[in-house]
Structure 1
Amino acid sequence: MMTDKQKTLANEFSISGKGLHTSCLVTAVFKPAPENHGFKFKRVDLDGQPILEADANIVGDTSRGTVIQKGQARLSTIEHALAALVGMDLDNVLIEIDNQEMPIMDGSARMFAEAIEKAGVVEQDAEREYLEIKEKIVYKDPKTGSELIALPDDDYRLNVMISFNSSVLSNQFASLESLADFKKEVAPCRTFVFLRELEFLLQNNLVKGGDLDNAIVIMDREVSQEEMDRLADLFHHERIEVQKDKGILNNLDLHFENECARHKLLDVIGDLSLAGVRIKGRIIATKPGHGVNTEFAKLLKKEFQTRKRNDIPEYDPEKEPVMDVNKVKQFLPHRFPFLLVDKVTEITDDHIIGIKNVTVNEPFFTGHFPDEPVMPGVLLVEAMAQCGGLYVLHNKEEKYSTYFIRIDNVKFRRKVVPGDTLIFKMELTSPIRRGIANMKGLCYVGKSLVAEGEFMAQIVKN
């Protein structure tokens, strides 16, 4: 499990501009936020100043950008700002916005990223949570052929492939191996539009805030100069023509040959942030779009919530333990045959995970039972209690002992037999006060819960 710290802005900053589709003038103020806040948007122009969370479950529309909505409160085109927040390594930010659409700026995330860099990023005390991809997760839209896949990896990495029925823009590929490269490799990449789409949008009273400098216009058919002049006039732009070798208008130069694919990668980062959790894994997106992106974000969010609800600890025998058995013996007074924790694999601010390998040579199997060896339930409780004692004592410089003064709601779910590896999770249920610790204990074999209980212990100086 990755366990780095959450981050927020060191200082607030504001960005103003036009909304792409509404042409509304809008100012967005990005503010530091407390731990575990996430990304949230506050519509300060509406009564009650409603807050819209960056949450895939409140996505209301994806036809021309990602839109979140709660009741009558709505906010459009949030993906570029969200991509910048993730790409610049932030977790908790409040964005106060005074209109219904985020400013489009130059059609990329560059200005957001630069403003974040200037404002600064600070580390917070709380641990950052991750959705670690353990096995393949797939979402596919059979109508479009769009597909997103999440695979195990040791960091957040993305591969994006786009494909269009166009002689100018057919297939492109982009990848990002580290978010550390986001600002340079992805943030400057602008949105793009085909000429045929642009004409449709104009006819339907959309892209009212667009101009020819905040999008790459793909010219996938022959047009006359007269038509080009008319297009320039519609956007109050100086005369333009097609760059014949590239099939785009000459109003701008490409930052990268595959800028369109890189922009789609940018959109994927922004949309997947709606899962509400950092991702550790490789995302492979084929023909992505806001619709499939946000549906995939819902899948990832559901997976994370399911894991958190079940909260099953994982045991990697190759990982170096936090405490081996010799270290365990420095804190616990127990010895053979009553030391029931072999090692500790994780200790955080509120829980500990310990391991016990159950072998047929355990002395209690001699009488419990000779023909059907089963680990006594009372020893499962004792093992959990010892693991809880390690949590309480591991940071004490002087010698202390723990004496359990109350054990409640103990349940046994299945037998523990020779060959099982017990995984204990002891979690603090309230702050330690006046030398009293309250903990919830869980004991697993693999993903199966075998025992649980609630423990109260008194911490006594020797």
Structure 2
Amino acid sequence: MQHQTTIGKTVTYTGIGLHSGQDVTIRLNPAPIDTGIVFARVDLPGAPQVAAKASNVTSTMRATTLESGNAKVFTVEHLLAAFSAMMVDNCIIEIDSVEPPVADGSSMPFVELIQQAGIIKQDAIRKILAVSAEQTIRHEDKFITILPYNGLRITFTSINSHPLLGVQFGDYEITPETFIKEIAPARTIGFMHEVEALKAQGLALGGSLENAVVYDAENVLTPLRFSDELVRHKILDVIGDLALAGCVRGHIIAVKSGHTLNTALANKILANIIETV
């Protein structure tokens, strides 16, 4: 049996939102058992809250958005991936803007924030969600599936037409140690030809060479951390999006999946799970 956990003390991080371009501070706070991961919009009257649950997803355009009443936050997946992979169950995140900091475009700054706070065991059993049969979401040439598996394994194939990207394949057993070494440092990817269109939609207003891996038509403009950084970041996104279902166990296999399919699978898992401890 595994016990629920929370962080050991309050810690803060200040930065800029990737899409909003707004300055933002997040404060991670210890939380009681069965709280889950909850965002509190302290910049709004009454500090309304929204829980990191698949049922609260309202948009998946370029990022995962959560809403409940007046509380709205988006681009939550990098932060949620850190909580999930580091096995932190309960935390209240006070946030004074609509979007967490992008930091360097990866989950690593959030891992380090959690490590700074420490992780403490709580007097309650962790609820582990294990599928009893294959569950799949498909759309055209993209899919994501989960198979019964004793652990969390993610196998992802990314296919991109850029000459420096092409087909990238990643297959990882997700543990805190593997996440820190192989997945958490992988940054979000951007393309110069998309920048103007994104900004016209009010997106990527805070994006830069300091918080994304950027490609032009022929070159990468940012030094890579991994030769296959794209597929590693795709796996990071899967971890963050599936955290919206809870503590999931299974073998996830995906081809060209993104936030829309990931979060749809999270909802499907919740509708077709067995709960174990």
TM-score category of the 2 structures, normalised to the smaller one = over 0.9
Which of 130, 134, 145 does residue 149 from structure 1 map onto?
Answer: 145
Which of 108, 115, 118 is matched with 1:120 structurally? 118
User: Would the aligned equivalents of 2:142 and 2:257 in 1 still touch at CA under 8 Å?
Assistant: yes
Match in the other structure for 1:260 = 230
Q: Which amino acid aligns with 1:258?
A: D
- Post-superposition Cα deviations, 1:341-396, rounded to whole Å, max 9, x if no partner, equal xxxxxxx9xxxxxxxxxxxxxxxxxxxxxxxxxxxxxxxxxxxxxxxxxxxxxxxx
Select 2:101's aligned residue among 90, 103, 128.
Answer: 103
Distance, in Å, in 1 between the alignment partners of 2:132 and 2:261 is 21
SS of alignment partner, residue 115 of structure 1: helix
Once superposed, what is the RMSD of the aligned Cα atoms? 1.6
Alignment of 1:28-47 (within 5 A): 28-47=26-45
| Aligned counterpart, 1:299 | 268
- Note the 1:33-432 alignment, pairs <5 A: 33-142=31-140, 145-180=141-176, 181-221=178-218, 247-249=219-221, 252-275=222-245, 277-304=246-273, 307=274
Task: State the distance in 1 between where 2:200 and 2:120 align.
Answer: 46
TM-score normalized by the length of structure 2: 0.95
- Give the partner amino acid of 2:144: L
Shift of 1:282: 0.7
In the TM superposition, residue 202 of structure 1 has moved relative to its aligned partner by: 3.2
1:280 corresponds to which letter in structure 2?
R
* Distance in 1 separating the partners of 2:36 and 2:272: 18
Is the 2:186–2:229 contact (alpha carbons within 8 Å) kept by the matching residues of 1?
Answer: yes
Contact 1:52 1:68 in 2 (8 A): yes
> Per the alignment, in what secondary structure is the counterpart of residue 18 of structure 2?
coil
AA in 2 matched with 1:300: I
Q: Which residue of 2 aligns with 1:444?
A: none
The one of the two structures with greater contact order (alpha-carbon pairs below 8 A, sep at least 6) is 2
Q: CA deviation at 1:73?
A: 2.4
Code of the residue aligned with 1:289 in structure 2: it is G
- Structure 1 spans left out of the alignment, 5+ residues: 222-246, 314-347, 349-462
Q: Secondary structure at 1:42's aligned position in 2?
A: strand
The answer as to whether partners of 2:40 and 2:71 remain within 8 angstroms in 1 is: no
Listed one character per residue, the Cα deviations across residues 51-75 of structure 1 (whole Å, up to 9, x for unaligned) are 1010111111111211111233211
CA contact (8 A) 2:131 2:272 kept: no
Given residue 156 of structure 1, which amino acid in structure 2 is its aligned partner?
L
Post-superposition offset of 1:166:
2.5
Paired position in structure 2 for 1:22: 20
- The offset of 1:205, in angstroms, is 4.2
TM-score, scaled to structure 1: 0.58
CA drift at 1:203: 4.1
Contact 1:168 1:219 in 2 (8 A): no
Give a deviation string over 1:321-340, Cα, whole Å, max 9, x none: xxxxxxxxxxxxxxxxxxxx
The 1:205–1:6 alpha-carbon spacing in structure 2 relative to 1, beyond 3 Å, is closer
Q: In structure 2, give the amino acid aligned to 1:299.
A: K
Q: What SS is found at the alignment partner of 1:265?
A: helix
Distance 2:226 2:34 in 1: 36
